[in-house]
Amino acid sequence: MIHPSAVVHPSAQLGEGCEVGPYCVVGEHVVLGPRCRLHSHVVVDGRTTLGANNELFPFACIGLKTQDLKWKGGITRTEIGDHNVFREHVTVHSATQDGDATRVGSHNHFLAYVHLAHDVQLGSHIIMSNVATLAGHVTVEDHAIIGGLAAVHQFCRIGKFSMIGGCAKVVQDIPPFMMGDGNPAETRFINKVGLERNGFAPEVVKALTQAYKVLFREGLTISNALVKIEAELPPSPEMAHLVAFIRGSERGISK
């Protein structure tokens, strides 16, 4: 169902059951999966692919050219999964370097004025509140929550099941299962309520709480804290992911 005022390029591919509302623009290389809904005044352009059941609200702009001044041309892509919601004025930009892609997983909810810059890599089940902003090359793992007006510096990573407070300025990585807040952001505590709501076992929450204390309360270097965690705390997939995430940090973690 395409509104008469919409502009859809003849080469664009629209899946079964797609709805394109008034004054929308769909570009030449766009692929919309089944049952995507573009309410009105939505722009989807560039080499952009959306999976099934995505919903785009008025003035969302998806897949347009990067704002990065290092862009020199070439073919860049924007790849988006299924069941995502892009509220009013959300912007998602394509990658910068030839052959690269901005990627967004599935079941994410992006509130009004959220910005996803070039080359971001997002997982699934993420919530970003109004005006939250990711700079280029930011990675956000599954089930993270980013508060309104929060800003994340380029190349930072946001760990899974973490939560970032509103208006936070994130300039280093936020570890998985933790809460970050402040300007600049600091790791405040584990995301206890979030973990409990997502069904984490009490013993896992307790162990992650102990890991937080070792990392941020005992005055140890990060490397020594990780050694202590591996030696003294009960092993679990969550603990292994936390340790691996911190060891892989290039910008350092928010302390």
Q: How far apart are CA 211 and CA 187, in angstroms?
A: 12
Which entry of 45, 68, 82, 119 is annotated as an active-site residue? 119
Superfamily for the 196-247 domain: Udp N-acetylglucosamine O-acyltransferase, C-terminal domain (1.20.1180.10)
Q: How far apart are CA 80 and CA 122, in angstroms?
A: 9
Query: Residue 136 catalytic?
Result: yes
Instruction: Delimit the CATH 2.160.10.10 region(s) of the chain.
Output: 7-188
Which entry of 105, 136, 165, 180 is annotated as an active-site residue? 136
Q: How far apart are CA 212 and CA 37, in angstroms?
A: 42
Distance of CA 105 to the CA centre of its chain: 8
Contacts of 79 (CB under 8 A, 6+ apart): 48, 49, 101, 102, 103, 104
Maximum CA pair distance of the chain?
A: 66
CA angle 22/91/103 to nearest 5° reads 115
pLDDT along the chain (255 residues), means of 10: 97 98 98 98 98 98 97 96 98 98 98 98 98 98 98 98 98 98 97 97 98 97 97 97 98 95
Contact 14, 8 (CB under 8 A): yes
Instruction: Delimit the CATH 1.20.1180.10 region(s) of the chain.
Output: 196-247
- What CATH number has the domain spanning 7-188? 2.160.10.10
Residue 156: C-alpha distances to residues 87, 89, 115 (Å): 24, 24, 15
DSSP state of 222: H
Give the per-residue pLDDT at 27: 98
The model's pTM is: 0.97
Give the per-residue pLDDT at 236: 97
Query: Residue 119 catalytic?
Result: yes
Query: Residue 45 catalytic?
Result: no
Give the per-residue pLDDT at 134: 98
Q: Is the dihedral of CA 58, 60, 61, 63 positive or negative?
A: negative
Q: How far apart are CA 102 and CA 79, in angstroms?
A: 6
Which entry of 89, 93, 118, 153 is annotated as an active-site residue? 118
Contact 38, 24 (CB under 8 A): yes
Give the per-residue pLDDT at 126: 98
Burial of 232 (0-12, 13-18, 19+ CB in 10 A): exposed
CA angle 166/133/58 to nearest 5° reads 105
Q: How far apart are CA 99 and CA 87, in angstroms?
A: 28
